[in-house]
Structure 1
Amino acid sequence: MQKLGLNEIREKFLSFFESKGHLRLPSFPLVPQNDSSLLLINAGMAPLKPYFTGKEVPPAKRVTTCQKCIRTPDIEQVGQTARHGTFFEMLGNFSFGDYFKMDATKWAWEFATEVLEMPKDRIWVSVYNDDYEAADIWTNHVGVSKDRIVYLGKDDNFWEIGTGPCGPCSELYYDRGEEYGCGSPDCAVGCDCDRFVEFWNLVFTQFDKDENGTYNKLDHPNIDTGMGLERIACIMQGTTSIFEVDTIRKVLNAAAEIAGVKYGEDNQIDTSLRVITDHIRSTVFMTADGVLPSNEGRGYVLRRLLRRAARHGKMLGINEMFLYKLARVVADESMTAYPELDQNFAYIESVIKSEEARFDETIDQGILILNQYMEEMKQSGTKELDGEKAFKLYDTYGFPIDLTKEIMGENGFVVATKLFDDLLNEQRIKSKVARGNMDDAAWENDIFIDVEGSTVFDGYAKLKGTSNVLAIAKGSERVEEAEAGEEVTLVLDRSTFYAESGGQVGDTGIIESDDASLKVIDTKKSNGKFLHICKVENGVVKVGDKVTTLVDKERRQSIKRNHSAVHLVQAALREVLGKHVAQAGSYVDEYRFRFDFSHYQPLTEDEILKVGMLVNKKIMEAIPVECFEEDVATAKSMGAMALFSEKYGSRVRVVKMGDFSTELCGGCHVENTGKLGLMKILSETGVSAGVRRIEGVTGYNVILQMREKSKLIDDVSSVLKTNPSDLLNRAEGIVAELKDARHEIDSLKSKLAKNSVDDILGNTEDIGGVKVVTKILDDNIDMNTMREIGDNIKNKIPNAFVVLASKIGEKVNLISMASKEAIDKGANAGAVISEIAKQLGGGGGGKPDSAQAGGKKPEKTEEVMKNVSDILKKHQEKNK
């Protein structure tokens, strides 16, 4: 049997099944596409479910993949054992109604014994109790000895989840030898010991289980196989641990090197190294697929793994950020199979660095508080941490509850999780209520609940239409009519006014009837009904009136330009920064657009320039904008971008701008990108961890921006008395003049400092053999000058202890210095100045020989400086 590397095994498997007519597909992302039942992909067949269920047509009837997977149910066990891990790769070959048991079993045996050259006498096969067909194939067609076939029950060898497609399994086991066994005479396939290792599961999906529990035969049975890449690598490399596999061991070795420890000598150290190794692998792959650390969903899984790894680093004595260094090792070991790791590495590294830095801010303080809690619990004999204290750690200090439970568990304590969960739920309810109050909660109080039907939107194709008034409200009261001067809300059966949604603001304009005219101030939506917020300009409007709707054309056009720009910006960002970019929110009105997106670091000037140039290039190409309805599956198969948080119906609206941008969107757009005129990015800022924001303008608003900039340049040129064309030279000249003037001022200050030393030495007092020099200098003396004065005094008096002060506005600056001789006699600059600063309402400190501080009570400076000698005496006596 060859000792093959993990990367070699993967390639051999995929190439083998390609030779058997299978289409090799790249791994699907860890984030499930169009599958809300899964948080993260956890099995090789999970992304292929639509093909097995018949919802989608597979790209080929025979497919082979190596799928990235994440499983976290046993996260606490990771590190404790040599087996458990959160990240793994699953090799698989699949048949969608094509070949069945005969080919699946023959190829499995061929690959195992001929390609991997596994000894035939070490391989055992299990089949389902009633699957005599599979047993016959193994013995009579493949040639496996009958005494190496084991029959197992439904729990072990039958795959089903509720109703639907299901079937028996056949598994291949490798016998490691008696030395790995439990010693029991009954030790055989299925035993929990380490002797017989299951490495390949062949699922024969041949039944469709109905609600009555009947197993109906499928007309077109399927094959679904799974072989854990890390597990088969263990077998091929003769290791008992996934952490000993070549590519994984390199990550572990790198972690050990950073920590300055060795693997295999101490169980506690080994546990931490395994945790770090596994979690950084998961972190790198999740980040590469666009997952960002957060407090919910898959983002929380990522944050938990990353922070658990960082904490185990601290347990090993690593007191610096180190996970991003290990990320490079992970990428190097796996990028041949997953090129996105290398292509997106700068982004992956920045996400990990940022999250590790955030955790550094909370971990030390959290552990300190936890240690205090545990000490109190030991003294009181309590074994359960109060849930309120655990919640305070989480809510106030950002310390993860999972980490609290883990640390408490390691020390023999538990957490009152019920109270914690109650407090967390209470906080979520309060937060939801608060958000409701902020987001126009009045519209949630639907006073139009009894109005039947939904408003039909006619405004994509036209801005003018006719409709009927279904209901009128004044404030929170329903009325039958409204007259001139009153502000009301109208519900119409159909409307050309776009109601605020998807980040696009509501339309404004005019509603007219034979007897009234109303100005539409805004349009919102509630339970499918469009709410037209209006002011009656003249006449009387009544329920049942037939009205004409007239949307403000110029305003709508400006909104459309900005909304289309958002789509172009997202596509440009994905091209410039990487495919991890995803929309995190947007806002579009007639003046500007705002686009929030996932990215973990500020954009460089060059990146902003590239995005802007690319968008304007697409504008100048005058690409037709297609808007059409499609079913969800077809739209997404076209590559249409969708918001993860958005719920879509069976039919969706697709907005397509050539091959550059395809998105699901219900908003209003221009007919051609050329109608945007121009786009200008105004700003790029951070919104929250991992989310950036771009704001920009299009069309006429770009011209207005240019006018404002041009006027500013003219105004500045006028103040500096120069022509706009020479503005830069003039500004550089002024900066140079100011720099020279600053140097001259600093030089004069330095001379002044030297000249004033002799005057200052007149205030010398001997305290225990230390020459104490104190002086309140002139106002507005900077720290550098104060230090220079202090150094000059120390040079003149070998055993000097110096304290200087200078008032600056409403504050006072302080410096303190002590010579070596003074320190030997009990002087400590840092300790003394800290006490002085407190008396002045401030703080500071430093080393025994040099320290600085500040105070907020300059009026007390003279009084406090008189206490320097007494404070020094106190410290001298303490140090005797």
Structure 2
Amino acid sequence: MGSTVPAQERVEEWTAPKVRSTFIDFFKEKHGHTFVPSSSVVPLADPTLLFTNAGMNQYKSIVRPNLYLHTSTYILSKPQETPQRLHTPFLGTVDPSSSFAHLRRAVNSQKCIRAGGKHNDLDDVGKDSYHHTFFEMLGNWSFGDYFKEEAITMSWTLLTQTFRLDPDRLYVTYFEGNADVGLPPDTEARDFWLKVGVAEDHILTGDMKDNFWEMGDQGPCGPCSEIHYDRLGGGRNASSLVNQDDPNVLEIWNNVFIQYNREPDRSLKALPNRHIDTGLGFERLVSILQDKPSNYDTDVFTPLFDRIKEITGARPYAGGFGDEDEGGVDTAYRVVADHVRLLTFAISDGGVPNNVGRGYVVRRVLRRGARYARRYFDVEIGSFFSKLVPTLVEQMGGMFPEIRGKMKEVMEILDEEEASFAKTLDRGEVMFGKMAGKVAEGGKLGGGDVWRLYDTYGFPVDLTKIMAEERGLSIDDGEVAEAQEKAREASKGEKKGAGDALKLNVHDINALENMDGVPKTDDSFKFGRENVAATVKAIYHAGSFINSTDGVGEGDQVGLVLDRTNFYAEQGGQENDTGRILVDDGPELEVGDVQVYGGYVVHAGVMRYGSFKLGDEVLCQYSEERRGPLRGNHTGTHILNFALREVLGDEINQRGSLVAEEKLRFDFSHKSGVSEAELEKIEAECTGYLRQNSDVYALDVELAKAREIEGVRAVFGETYPDPVRVVSIGVAVEELLAEPKKKEWRCVSVEFCGGTHVRNTQDIKELVILEESGIAKGIRRIVAVTGQGAYEVQRVAQEWEARVGGLEKMEYGSEKEARTKEWQHGLGQVEMSAVVKGKLRERVAKVVKENLEHQKAAQKAESKKVVDAITEHFEANKESKTLVLSLSVSTGSKAVQEAIKMVSSKQKDKSVYLVGKADDKVVHGCFVSEEAQKKGLDAGKWANEVAGVVGGKAGGKGASSLGQGTNAGRVDEAVEVARKALEGLGL
């Protein structure tokens, strides 16, 4: 069914990989298209997009002005920079040194995500057979090359002859026109469809919504022509079902004819070069060719379904929807399989889960999927999604090798994120149950409750909506927005208080010590990773201790002292934790600062909900999002300390450190600066240690015994407690103590340390040194980043390497000079590996030198050209004693000055005026012979007459004068003024 060949043959022939490769080969091999690998699904350098959502995204610089885009092959200005309008064969702003500058025909399969922003299919995933948050868009493009007839012919030939789809099941649409905006019907496209053989009753019209494509309010646009497929066929005419959301009549391909430009005043102008942009839904095409009723029934998804069944023990996927989906299991299959695709590709391309923008979308998707997995598959959450990743990589890693290279990292991030959500999932569901239990069936869940489920327990609002729907409840988005705004206002109090953080003075500490029943805080739990139950022992507010926070407003600062805590107080160079102290369904403190005073740990922050009182049993919940990077940076500091000693020698001693969330800072004694070669060795030593995947051990040891360990590192002048905590990377502390004088221990990082650390060096992922500098005589400082921060600076470094590579290939000219100057400055401002930056600076400096050489050579040639013109004039006109010459010169040219100098030395009997136009500037000057001076021609007055026309000033001594003007539009007028001055004196 659905083709000119039997269904069984189609199913066996058209595997998903073959469908993809057949499409690409058709355009590449038969029609001369260039295969362009898919761009990143996370467009980090394009602020206009949340995610790449169409195949056209990476080509925007070719066809659309004023966009700033980057891939591994080309780069334009950063978002904050002024756009550079470059000369290209098209309308756009693509860098002329880029391979895209000469691209005429392209084909690819683009990774796309539609799960946020304008294009968001998240809510529909799982509920129907064809929505996905991640999908592939097959496409072919023409940039000023072929147009409608060729595009229509190619698409029809591919579908009916190569893929052998039944023409009777295919329907096409074309733009019906719009008289209100002056657009005629696209009868040209209609006629081409008739020409290739489409039946007239299968050709339909469409309006501006369905058949006119625009990127935005301005820029290239044009009519489009869609191709739809009727799954059922059977001799029926399905024209009336096209574009009616019928699941059996699907749009599969859209041909966009980019032929207009939308101007700022909303008018349309024809483009000088016309382009083709097409998009063919890969998953839909596979389902048609495999004769499946749903995208989810194809081998795009079945390997993932098989793996889900294997992991969970669930019943096989049955393809049910709505009431036919027994227990909601089929929906869960679809949701989980879809979501692991988005998560794997997004994280591989740099979309790390967090609370902002793209990162929040990734987090939402993971938490949504995790809840589906636990509810419908009854599995423990913590490492579920990572078990699916290898299957996906096996499926798609050939076409998209980036997911193969990032597989391990993706699995680690998924496990970390899942485990973090698992900590609050149970409690959040219990809280939701309590909140929902107060609402009658069919009622509305309060916006404040919905927001707190997100704010405290990490439940994205759309996840809470799903849970509400399961109970027959609704949610008012307006109420949720009000609650969010209220929380935002409360957070302003936190920010306001950050500069004036709650601190205890000596009298407050004394008061604590004299309170009955207030012990020193047991903070040993800070080295663990679990939430801790504790009791409120003291409450501090507005300079005094109080019994409860009744009357304290939301957003006001409060300090809590507990009998025990898992929060890390700022000490030993490591910054403090942040997080929450709360009672489920009760009061909550947003902890922003943690300090220790004589053994009492004070958790300072702002009130979010309810009221605390002395004796309350609370839950301590530190922020793993902050603690994770702190741990990585602290362990990274130890590894850096070790590497410094290995490369620079034993005289290296720590002189201070800072472990922050964003980066680490390490101060050390060293007599001279660290060379670039030494930095490279230090970074390589750190990388080598990280790659050993060493476990990190810690143990409290008697101080005297700890000092005996060979190679142990400690801060000079620091007073350590007894027992002291020993942290060792790669060898258990007990093993070190068994033979403390063993020489091999000098090859192990061993330090006295009271900070938090990773479990294994692979958790750090990378360590990149950003800078090295001197801060005092004999004291040096290194700043570095680890983990995701290191990945980010590596990504930036790759961008700059591509940028500098493009600069090196550019032909010399004003554009190259401008870019060189701009990027030489920009390179100094950006954060990246100090080693890479040093090498890039050398390369840019070489370009600067080459530019200077070109500039000198060009100026020399330009000066010679002007001098030759003067010489030729007087040789050809032996009787002539004067010359007024208008010429074009380059910016910064010294041709006028050099030519005047030549006349003054070699042709003193001549009077010459030169007016040079350099872009929007004017350079002019003159020399007056003795004869002309006797007749009253004064060089200074002559030059100032010209300056009066072109602006600016002129000046000089004796017979010569030079000037610069700003009105280049009056050069011809200035030349006439110079000539009339000669004529007036009879010269």
Q: Do the aligned residues in 1 keep the contact of 2:347 with 2:410 (CA within 8 Å)?
A: yes
In the alignment, the residues of structure 1 paired with residue 110 and residue 213 of structure 2 have an alpha-carbon distance, to the nearest angstrom, of 20
Match of 1:687 in 2: none
> Which of residues 252, 268, 277 is equivalent to 1:224?
277
In the alignment, the residues of structure 2 paired with residue 69 and residue 263 of structure 1 have an alpha-carbon distance, to the nearest angstrom, of 25
Q: 1:571 to 1:173 in 2, by over 3 A?
A: farther
Q: Do the aligned residues in 2 keep the contact of 1:391 with 1:423 (CA within 8 Å)?
A: no
> Which of residues 153, 159, 169 is equivalent to 2:224?
169
Question: Equivalences for 1:417-566 in 2 at 5 Å?
Answer: 417-434=480-497, 558=673
Q: One-letter code of the match for 1:359?
A: F
Q: Do the aligned residues in 1 keep the contact of 2:212 with 2:224 (CA within 8 Å)?
A: yes
Q: One-letter code of the match for 1:82?
A: S
Residue 207 of structure 1: how far off its partner (Å): 0.6
Match of 1:368 in 2: 430
Question: Equivalences for 1:5-44 in 2 at 5 Å?
Answer: 5-19=15-29, 20-44=31-55
Q: Do the aligned residues in 1 keep the contact of 2:122 with 2:133 (CA within 8 Å)?
A: yes
In the alignment, the residues of structure 2 paired with residue 33 and residue 128 of structure 1 have an alpha-carbon distance, to the nearest angstrom, of 35
Question: Equivalences for 1:243-262 in 2 at 5 Å?
Answer: 243-259=296-312, 260-262=314-316
In the alignment, the residues of structure 1 paired with residue 836 and residue 24 of structure 2 have an alpha-carbon distance, to the nearest angstrom, of 46
Match of 1:95 in 2: 142
In the alignment, the residues of structure 1 paired with residue 57 and residue 468 of structure 2 have an alpha-carbon distance, to the nearest angstrom, of 36
Q: One-letter code of the match for 2:489?
A: E
Match of 1:159 in 2: 213
Question: Equivalences for 1:345-384 in 2 at 5 Å?
Answer: 345-378=407-440, 383-384=443-444
In the alignment, the residues of structure 2 paired with residue 399 and residue 568 of structure 1 have an alpha-carbon distance, to the nearest angstrom, of 40
- Report SS of the residue matched to 1:246: coil
CA deviation map 1:313-357 (0-9, x unaligned): 111211253211111111111111012222221111111112111
Q: Do the aligned residues in 2 keep the contact of 1:208 with 1:218 (CA within 8 Å)?
A: yes
State whether structure 2 residue 294 is matched by structure 1 residue 241: yes
Q: 1:226 to 1:420 in 2, by over 3 A?
A: same
Match of 1:215 in 2: 268
CA deviation map 1:375-414 (0-9, x unaligned): 2334xx8933344434443333333333223212321223
Q: What is the TM-score normalised by the length of structure 2?
A: 0.47
In the alignment, the residues of structure 2 paired with residue 232 and residue 431 of structure 1 have an alpha-carbon distance, to the nearest angstrom, of 53
Q: Do the aligned residues in 2 keep the contact of 1:66 with 1:90 (CA within 8 Å)?
A: yes
Match of 2:113 in 1: 70
Q: Do the aligned residues in 1 keep the contact of 2:770 with 2:832 (CA within 8 Å)?
A: no
**4+ residue runs over 4 A deviation:** 178-181, 434-438, 554-578, 580-589, 599-602, 630-640, 649-656, 666-674
Q: 1:63 to 1:583 in 2, by over 3 A?
A: farther
State whether structure 2 residue 187 is matched by structure 1 residue 144: no
Q: One-letter code of the match for 1:350?
A: E
Residue 637 of structure 1: how far off its partner (Å): 5.5
Match of 1:540 in 2: none
Q: Do the aligned residues in 2 keep the contact of 1:584 with 1:598 (CA within 8 Å)?
A: no
Match of 2:379 in 1: 318
CA deviation map 1:215-239 (0-9, x unaligned): 2111100100000100111111112
Residue 567 of structure 1: how far off its partner (Å): 12
In the alignment, the residues of structure 2 paired with residue 98 and residue 556 of structure 1 have an alpha-carbon distance, to the nearest angstrom, of 64
CA deviation map 1:18-50 (0-9, x unaligned): 121111011111111421011111111112111
Match of 1:131 in 2: 186
Residue 154 of structure 1: how far off its partner (Å): 1.8
- Report SS of the residue matched to 2:372: helix
Root-mean-square deviation (Å): 4.4
Q: One-letter code of the match for 1:147?
A: D
> Which of residues 548, 572, 596 is equivalent to 2:785?
596
CA deviation map 1:566-613 (0-9, x unaligned): 9977997999899x98999967653332322444999xxxxxxxx9xx
Match of 1:56 in 2: 94
In the alignment, the residues of structure 1 paired with residue 53 and residue 286 of structure 2 have an alpha-carbon distance, to the nearest angstrom, of 19
Q: Do the aligned residues in 2 keep the contact of 1:188 with 1:196 (CA within 8 Å)?
A: yes
Match of 2:156 in 1: 109
Q: 1:433 to 1:69 in 2, by over 3 A?
A: farther
Q: Do the aligned residues in 1 keep the contact of 2:169 with 2:233 (CA within 8 Å)?
A: no
Residue 82 of structure 1: how far off its partner (Å): 1.7
Q: Do the aligned residues in 1 keep the contact of 2:442 with 2:472 (CA within 8 Å)?
A: no
Q: One-letter code of the match for 1:361?
A: K
- Report SS of the residue matched to 2:139: strand
Q: Do the aligned residues in 2 keep the contact of 1:18 with 1:24 (CA within 8 Å)?
A: yes
Q: Do the aligned residues in 2 keep the contact of 1:159 with 1:169 (CA within 8 Å)?
A: yes
Matched residues, number = 518
Q: Do the aligned residues in 2 keep the contact of 1:31 with 1:39 (CA within 8 Å)?
A: yes
Residue 65 of structure 1: how far off its partner (Å): 1.2
> Which of residues 387, 392, 398 is equivalent to 1:330?
392
Bigger proportion of residues as strand: 1
CA deviation map 1:54-97 (0-9, x unaligned): 11052521111100000012312211222221000000111111
Q: Do the aligned residues in 2 keep the contact of 1:263 with 1:270 (CA within 8 Å)?
A: yes
Residue 248 of structure 1: how far off its partner (Å): 0.9
Match of 2:905 in 1: none
In the alignment, the residues of structure 2 paired with residue 196 and residue 237 of structure 1 have an alpha-carbon distance, to the nearest angstrom, of 16
State whether structure 2 residue 143 is matched by structure 1 residue 82: no
In the alignment, the residues of structure 1 paired with residue 304 and residue 15 of structure 2 have an alpha-carbon distance, to the nearest angstrom, of 15
CA deviation map 1:296-318 (0-9, x unaligned): 11111111111111111111211
Match of 2:337 in 1: 277
- Report SS of the residue matched to 2:472: coil
CA deviation map 1:115-145 (0-9, x unaligned): 11112222222111211111122223x2323
Question: Equivalences for 1:392-411 in 2 at 5 Å?
Answer: 392-411=452-471
Q: Work out the percentage of aligned pairs sharing the same amino acid.
A: 31
In the alignment, the residues of structure 2 paired with residue 364 and residue 13 of structure 1 have an alpha-carbon distance, to the nearest angstrom, of 47
Q: Do the aligned residues in 1 keep the contact of 2:686 with 2:767 (CA within 8 Å)?
A: no
In the alignment, the residues of structure 1 paired with residue 45 and residue 233 of structure 2 have an alpha-carbon distance, to the nearest angstrom, of 47
- Report SS of the residue matched to 1:247: coil
In the alignment, the residues of structure 1 paired with residue 248 and residue 205 of structure 2 have an alpha-carbon distance, to the nearest angstrom, of 18
State whether structure 2 residue 385 is matched by structure 1 residue 385: no
In the alignment, the residues of structure 1 paired with residue 286 and residue 495 of structure 2 have an alpha-carbon distance, to the nearest angstrom, of 49
In the alignment, the residues of structure 2 paired with residue 339 and residue 96 of structure 1 have an alpha-carbon distance, to the nearest angstrom, of 27
Give the gaps of 5 or more residues in structure 1: 439-553, 603-610, 615-625, 641-648, 657-661, 677-880
In the alignment, the residues of structure 2 paired with residue 636 and residue 390 of structure 1 have an alpha-carbon distance, to the nearest angstrom, of 51
- Report SS of the residue matched to 2:146: coil
Q: One-letter code of the match for 2:49?
A: L
CA deviation map 1:736-778 (0-9, x unaligned): xxxxxxxxxxxxxxxxxxxxxxxxxxxxxxxxxxxxxxxxxxx
State whether structure 2 residue 373 is matched by structure 1 residue 309: no
In the alignment, the residues of structure 2 paired with residue 284 and residue 598 of structure 1 have an alpha-carbon distance, to the nearest angstrom, of 18
Q: One-letter code of the match for 1:315?
A: R
Match of 1:119 in 2: 166
Q: One-letter code of the match for 2:469?
A: G
In the alignment, the residues of structure 1 paired with residue 426 and residue 310 of structure 2 have an alpha-carbon distance, to the nearest angstrom, of 23
In the alignment, the residues of structure 2 paired with residue 85 and residue 650 of structure 1 have an alpha-carbon distance, to the nearest angstrom, of 41
Q: One-letter code of the match for 2:286?
A: A
Q: What is the TM-score normalised by the length of structure 1?
A: 0.53
Q: One-letter code of the match for 1:214?
A: S
Residue 367 of structure 1: how far off its partner (Å): 0.5
Q: 1:637 to 1:303 in 2, by over 3 A?
A: farther
- Report SS of the residue matched to 2:393: helix
In the alignment, the residues of structure 1 paired with residue 833 and residue 238 of structure 2 have an alpha-carbon distance, to the nearest angstrom, of 74
In the alignment, the residues of structure 2 paired with residue 293 and residue 639 of structure 1 have an alpha-carbon distance, to the nearest angstrom, of 36
Q: 1:395 to 1:176 in 2, by over 3 A?
A: closer
